[in-house]
Amino acid sequence: MILKNTLVTRNNFNDFILPFYDPCFFIPTKGKGSRIWDQEGKEYIDFSGGIAVTSLGHCHPLLNKVLNYQSRKIWHTSNIFTNEPALRLAKKLVLSSFASYVFFANSGAEANEAAFKLARYYAIKKYHIKKNKIISFYNSFHGRTLFTVSVGGKSKYSDCFGPKPLGIQHAEFNKIETVKKIIDKNTCAIVVELVQGEGGVIPASKSFIRELRFLCNKYNALLIFDEVQTGIGRTGKLFAYEHYGIEPDILTIAKSLGGGFPISAMLTTSEIKSAIIPGIHGTTYGGNPLACAVAEATIDIINTKYILSGVEKKFKKIRFELNIINKRFKLFTEIRGIGLLIGLVLESKFENKIKDILYNSFLEGVIFLTAGKNVIRMAPSLIISEDDIIEGMRRFCCALEQL
């Protein structure tokens, strides 16, 4: 029996769904490229990218074709088997990165959970049982599992859930002296975002990452790069670490990897793989054929000179339009980020109006995100058109006029 569709509205959210979120007042029902439409047919230009997920926009025709093709072959196999899309995708990720091996999961949190577990497992097996300390950074974000949210540097996300995992310390981002004060022989890993996304779209300095690599080598600790937001073309390189000239021991990716289809991955080296035996970690859906087929097509499209070089060009166009707007409204003090992960740091007098700015933008048909209390975040499609950039900025200007 097939149930007929019934009319639902935003008001039904609190009737049926746990209120972990407070969703926007409209419901998107259709998307194409960098534009979406709601239940009323109103059009919006999407500069949020599903929080840096829809790297090729909505309903990319090639991704649709690949998903349709794979859906007629096999949907799911579990980790009892491997499958062809997973093997092909793993090979492409290895050949395009520092890594020798890949583990597939479903979300950024899952990839990070695997990375933190593996770092501890490797250190304990190779060195000693007390070598389990993980160093992270204040205002970082690594996921919502109890382990990853504790490693993350925002206590508001980890408080009130009972005892937190032990062996986690936090230092100040971009301040190497604070790391030197706490790293020791019991440190198994340092995990860092190359751009703190939720923390305010703050790039790590090259000297900071270089010093972290030195400290990890000195103390036999693993360096983990969380590229859940920055990976797969977001910064104009396939991986953000390429901007820094420093390779990690473990890297995590998600968001843009599937172009909107849920998938994540942890990448690592032969040395770390040598400690692994079957059964120490796993996931039912990781390496799903549907997800891997879509992700493979996403990689094929993005990992080209044309797309990657276009990211910087699109950033320059967005920055040009934003500077024109800012000359008029004196709204923000800084445009920061790398590539198409962009943060607008609001003037102090506008900080308490950030929700109003986003609400007015929605009303005018343009979608942005926030990052912290005073930053408007943009993470649009990597292939957003110049026409959509110009029109989106025009609508943003109209929204600001209403304030």
Q: Which residue ranges make up the annotated binding site? A: 108-109, 141, 144, 226-229, 283-284
Q: Among candidates 228, 232, 234, 229, which has minimal Cα distance to 250?
A: 228
Largest CA distance in the chain: 64
HSE at residue 263, side-chain half, CA atoms within 13 A, is 30
HSE at residue 26, side-chain half, CA atoms within 13 A, is 20
Q: What is the 3-state secondary structure (H, E, C) of 360-380?
A: HHHHHCEECEECCCCEEEECC
Residue 372 token pair: 């912290």
Residue whose structure tokens are 């925002």? 154
The answer for 15, left when phi > 0, alpha when psi is -120 to 50, beta otherwise, is alpha
The pairing of strands 222-226 and 187-193 is: parallel
Query: Residues comprising the binding site for pyridoxal 5'-phosphate?
Result: 108-109, 141, 226-229, 284
Burial class (CB in 10 A: 0-12, 13-18, 19+), 341: buried
Dump the DSSP string for 134-189.
EEEETT----SSHHHHHHSS-HHHHTTSSSPPSSEEEE-TT-HHHHHTT--TTEEE
Give how far Cα 284 sits from Cα of 191, 197, 211, 287, 292, Å.
Answer: 26, 28, 38, 9, 14
User: CA 34: distance to chain centroid?
Assistant: 18
Helix (H) or strand (E) segment spanning residue 63:
helix 61-71
Query: Residues comprising the binding site for N(2)-acetyl-L-ornithine?
Result: 144, 283
DSSP letter, residue 58: B
